[in-house]
Amino acid sequence: MLKQLEELKLKVLRELEEVSEIKELESWRVRYLGKKSELTRILRSLATLPLEQRKTIGALANEVRADLESSLKQKRQTLREAQVVIQTKEEQFDTTLPGRPLPIGHLHPITQTLYEICDIFISMGFQVVEGPEVEWDYYNFESLNIPKEHPARDTMSTLWVDSKAESDERCMLLRTHTTSMQLRVMEKTPPPLRVIIPGKVYRYEASDATHTPMFHQIDGLVVDKGITMADLKGTLYEVVRRFFGEDRKVRFRCDYFPFVEPGAEMAIECSVCSGNGCRLCGNSGWIEILGAGMTHPQVLQRAGLDPEVYSGFAFGMGVDRIPMLRYWIDNIRLFYNSDLRFLRQF
Ligand code: PHE
């Protein structure tokens, strides 16, 4: 009978093991711990046994019953916990909920403008070149006929990176114009060459409606045999016409830049006030968009080119003002405040 009890215990526990739902537990309990169960029958029959057997079998039978009851309790607990996990998972994962839309951004209006202008030049056979924003004094100034004491340095308040360098030419700065790439390009690329250089430039200036310490420029450089001022004007007029439209008034005047001779500046009629004068155009009715000129013979020479054989033209335009003119924006700082309500409009 002892053996029978042991076997019964093992069999019954194995069955309990296989139960996977709480509602099945009750039938298991009735079957093995209920009034009509084998165990109950054994316990009842104890009375009929001799005293010795009654003691040992009774003790074991009670032990088995206690075991089964505690196993049942434990199993109920485990199944309950599992059910809670399943329920909460189902609650968290509502398959009927529509997906959250991912916001798709777009290029910044200044980047869009930069790309658009580059595309016009690319269609005219120009190549795009980029260069370092932290630049040697040599490429930003010296190589462009702007030595240390030259007053042209005053017009470009410079952010110096290491003013303690051992010699002036070895000084580093944040480039004040993308013209800093012109000699680098000429040193590496033999003519004929036709490039544009887009990028960020830096000046130590307080910001106001039309100035920020960082802004964007596109420089251009063409070097070949027989390049003249007519090529310069023809190219720039065509670009302005394509970008701003046929009717936009353009003004072309003499100007001075140490690295070109002769030098010029180009302005277009202010679109905010249609030439009447406003805050954006400083009440002049015109907005200067670029400086230009014929590459200075000394600059060509510095790149190892013979100015008797080669000539070139160069220009540099500010990019940030262009979307301002286009979209009638009267404060440049709006571009850099990261206000999505503003940026989403473009
Ligand atoms: N680098 C000049 C500026 O920043 C513009 C310029 C470029 C003028 C090339 C002439 C030729 O003002």
Task: Please write the tens of the pLDDT for every residue from 24-35.
Answer: 888 888 888 888
Pocket test for ligand 1, best of 205, 232, 252, 257 (most atoms within 8 A of CB): 257
pLDDT at 157 over 80: yes
Residue 235 domain-assigned (yes or no) = yes
What's the pLDDT score for residue 27?
86
What's the pLDDT score for residue 167?
62
Quote the number of domains for the chain: 2
Mean pLDDT of 143-154: 88
Spatial distance between the Cα atoms of 274 and 277, rounded to a whole number of angstroms: 8
**113 shares a domain with 81:** no
Query: Which residue is closest in CA terms to ligand 1's atom 8?
Result: 291
pLDDT at 262 over 90: yes
**250 shares a domain with 211:** yes
**Confidence band for 281, pLDDT divided at 50, 70 and 90:** confident
What's the pLDDT score for residue 168?
58
Instruction: Indicate which CATH number applies to the domain containing 174.
Output: 3.30.930.10
Query: Which residue is closest in CA terms to ligand 1's atom 9?
Result: 315
What's the pLDDT score for residue 4?
83
Contacting residues for 262 by C-beta, under 8 A, at least 6 apart: 229, 254, 293, 294
pLDDT at 169 over 60: no
Pocket test for ligand 1, best of 219, 222, 296 (most atoms within 8 A of CB): 219
Q: Running DSSP on this structure, what letter comes out for residue 211?
A: B
- Using CB distances shorter than 6 Å, the residues near ligand 1 are 177, 179, 219, 257, 260, 291-293, 314-316
Minimum mean pLDDT range among 12-21, 91-100, 203-212: 91-100
Is the separation of the CB atoms in 200 and 215 below 8 Å?
yes
**141 shares a domain with 79:** no
pLDDT at 305 over 90: yes
Mean pLDDT of 47-57: 83
Does the pTM surpass 0.75? The reply is no
**213 shares a domain with 75:** no
What is the distance of C-alpha 262 from the center of its chain? 42
**255 shares a domain with 172:** yes
**280 shares a domain with 149:** yes
**Confidence band for 165, pLDDT divided at 50, 70 and 90:** low
Query: Which residues span the domain enclosing 261?
Result: 109-343
More confident call, 81 vs 314: 314
